[in-house]
Amino acid sequence: NITNLSQEISTIIQQQAYKKEIKFVANIQNDILINGDPYRLKQVFINLLNNAINYTPQGGKVFLEVKLLSDYLQIVVQDSGIGIPEDDMNRIFERFYRVDKARSRNTGGTGLGLAIVKHIVEAHKGYIQVKSEVEKGSTFYVYLPMHKNIS
Ligand code: ATP
Ligand code: MG
């Protein structure tokens, strides 16, 4: 139940956002059931939302949307944060890759979060896209097929 799962995670993220004075808004469609691994899918939400909070300064905004398109579940995680430079865009899904190590060192990540997200999404026969603009923010789009059997 993707609806319940993403609502649970939103409660946790809301607390993190509140502490950092970030405005968090979640728009989650009701009654979405999907064929997949709930623990792994939870990790997808957590990793994307943690990034959104981590790479967004105080006073910013983070938005989560979960909705059903015709054959796909669409998950959108949008932030008004530091953004990702064009040159780094195709490398952020690599293991241990971090943009500008000096800049992001204080956030203490290992550079694995997005590699894990991509791996899980692809294991569910889905795909992930990102749009970003430096100092404006980033938007990650995850698409998971609704009617496929996952082996
Ligand atoms: P962790 O393993 O703890 O998640 P991480 O956050 O550094 O560490 P990833 O989640 O894989 O690793 O992200 C890789 C890099 O992509 C980050 O270091 C950061 O530079 C950049 N990045 C990811 N998400 C965002 C975002 N929402 N806004 C700006 N930069 C981002
Ligand atoms: Mg991360």
Helices marked H in the chain — which ranges? 2-19, 38-54, 101-104, 113-123
8 Å CB contact between 77 and 84: no
**Can you give the pTM of this predicted structure?**
0.95
Mutate to test the pocket of ligand 1, among 16, 48, 51 (most ligand atoms within 8 A of CB): 51
- What tens digit of pLDDT does each residue of 3-23 get? 999 999 999 999 999 999 999
Give the Cα separation of 83 and 115 in Å (integer).
18
Q: Is the CB of 22 under 6 A from ligand 1?
A: no
Which H/E stretch holds residue 55?
A: none
Q: Is 93 helix (H, G, I), strand (E, B) or coil?
A: coil
58-73: per-residue pLDDT in tens?
999 999 999 999 899 9
Q: By alpha-carbon position, which residue is closest to atom 27 of ligand 1?
A: 52
For residue 67, give the nearest of 28, 12, 120, 114 by alpha carbon. Answer: 28
- If one residue of 92, 94, 121 were mutated to test the ligand 1 pocket, choosing by the most ligand atoms within 8 A of its CB, it would be 92
Tens digit of pLDDT for each residue in 103-141?
655 666 889 999 999 999 999 999 999 999 999 999 999
Q: Which atom of ligand 1 is nearest to the CA of 99?
A: 20
d(CA 3, CA 98): 31
